[in-house]
């Protein structure tokens, strides 16, 4: 169980960084889609390309967020699991009169 916790912790940190960059990209593309005049001032940007990036990135964002939620749940429940396991092992080795 400790290996799962450590793996979850590492993956959670990586996903936090990935989601941060994805959020910045989605916010930027979302603003350009909402305010077309900004994108029109930048002649090298194509609204079709911006929409394509925003739509495809949103799916990856949801997948990454889902995995981040799962790893967060695993990290949240791990201390309770260890505490439960320790109580169970102490009570089973307890000698009662």
Whether residue 96 is contained in a domain is answered as no
**How far apart (Å, rounded) are the C-alpha atoms in residues 44 and 56?**
20
Whether residue 64 is contained in a domain is answered as yes
Tens digits of residue pLDDT in 4-44: 889 999 999 999 999 999 999 999 999 988 988 877 777 77
Number of domains in the chain: 1
**How far apart (Å, rounded) are the C-alpha atoms in residues 58 and 25?**
10
Whether residue 97 is contained in a domain is answered as no
Whether the predicted pLDDT of 52 surpasses 90: yes
Tens digits of residue pLDDT in 57-87: 999 999 999 999 999 999 999 888 888 878 8
Q: Which domain holds residue 80?
A: 2-90
Whether residue 48 is contained in a domain is answered as yes
Whether residue 8 is contained in a domain is answered as yes
Whether residue 95 is contained in a domain is answered as no
Whether residue 51 is contained in a domain is answered as yes
């Amino acid at each position: 169980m400790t290996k799962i916790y450590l793996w979850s912790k590492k993956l959670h940190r990586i996903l936090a960084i990935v989601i941060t960059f994805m959020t910045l990209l989605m916010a930027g593309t979302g603003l350009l889609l909402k305010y077309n005049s900004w994108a029109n001032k930048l002649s090298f940007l194509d609204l079709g390309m911006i929409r394509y990036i925003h739509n495809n990135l949103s799916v990856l964002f949801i997948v990454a967020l889902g995995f981040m939620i799962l790893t967060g749940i695993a990290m949240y429940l791990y201390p309770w699991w260890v505490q439960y396991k320790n109580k169970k092992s102490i009570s089973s080795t307890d000698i009662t009169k």
